Structure 1
């Protein structure tokens, strides 16, 4: 009696791997290098919803929601993140991306960029600490 099992035809062919195409280009979301950032405030009551920051040295930029803004800060980030993704797709530096955002401040779902709030921070962690602590 033969104890060998028949080969399943699915496993008889060579193994093939399909490469998954990476997503759209994105800026780095962390940096220890200096960054510039601005506030995004609610259009109606002026509550700061979060911060958009950017640093050219590490090709980094991101949205940092303000903890005190709660879910609205998180929701607001979708629009700003989308704008950053599109800017990276066009191949522009992070600093240019935030300059464009400041030139067109009222494009968020709930908020608008505050051009007079543009300032420097030592790194992205400082902006994150600001968002958590105020």
Structure 2
């Protein structure tokens, strides 16, 4: 008599469990559809730090740091990203989120929204190109 037990094929392979931790609701960060965006300027010198854009068609919105502004633009983005996340959590459209941000322009750590800078772009890639090309 053999001491080996027969292998149950159901347990012969490794089992992997993927724990998916649900995060807060977020807008999509890319879209090929038209977007609206505004400029965030440095409170001290007035230079552009980046752009907040939003498009309702794809439920998308994001912060695009201006490359020429360096690390200051990246740090400023945390505040705008958090505001977008909170707006999504309240269930409002991306266009409504940027309207709220423009209504309270000086809420960034280093920068402030320029209310008169709200304009249209063909898509998010155009805003990204603007941020890189400055």
* Alignment RMSD: 2.0
Task: Give SS of 2:24's match.
Answer: coil
Deviations 1:36-88 (A, max 9, x none): 00000000100100000000000000000000000001000000000000000
Where does residue 31 of structure 2 map in the other structure?
31
Matching of residue 88 in structure 1 with residue 85 in structure 2: no
Matching of residue 125 in structure 1 with residue 125 in structure 2: yes
Question: Which portions of structure 1, spanning 4 or more consecutive aligned residues, are displaced by more than 6 angstroms?
Answer: none
Where does residue 108 of structure 1 map in the other structure?
108
Where does residue 63 of structure 1 map in the other structure?
63
For structure 1, the residue ranges without an aligned partner over 5 or more in a row are 6-10
| Cα distance in 1 between the residues matched to 2:65 and 2:118 | 16
| Cα distance in 1 between the residues matched to 2:64 and 2:101 | 15
| Cα distance in 1 between the residues matched to 2:3 and 2:115 | 78
| Cα distance in 2 between the residues matched to 1:119 and 1:63 | 15
Query: How far apart are residue 4 of structure 1 and its match?
Result: 3.8
Query: How far apart are residue 21 of structure 1 and its match?
Result: 3.2
For structure 2, the residue ranges without an aligned partner over 5 or more in a row are 6-10
Tell me the number of residue pairs that the alignment of Structure 1 and Structure 2 aligns: 127
TM-score by length of 2: 0.88
Where does residue 20 of structure 2 map in the other structure?
20
| Cα distance in 2 between the residues matched to 1:3 and 1:66 | 70
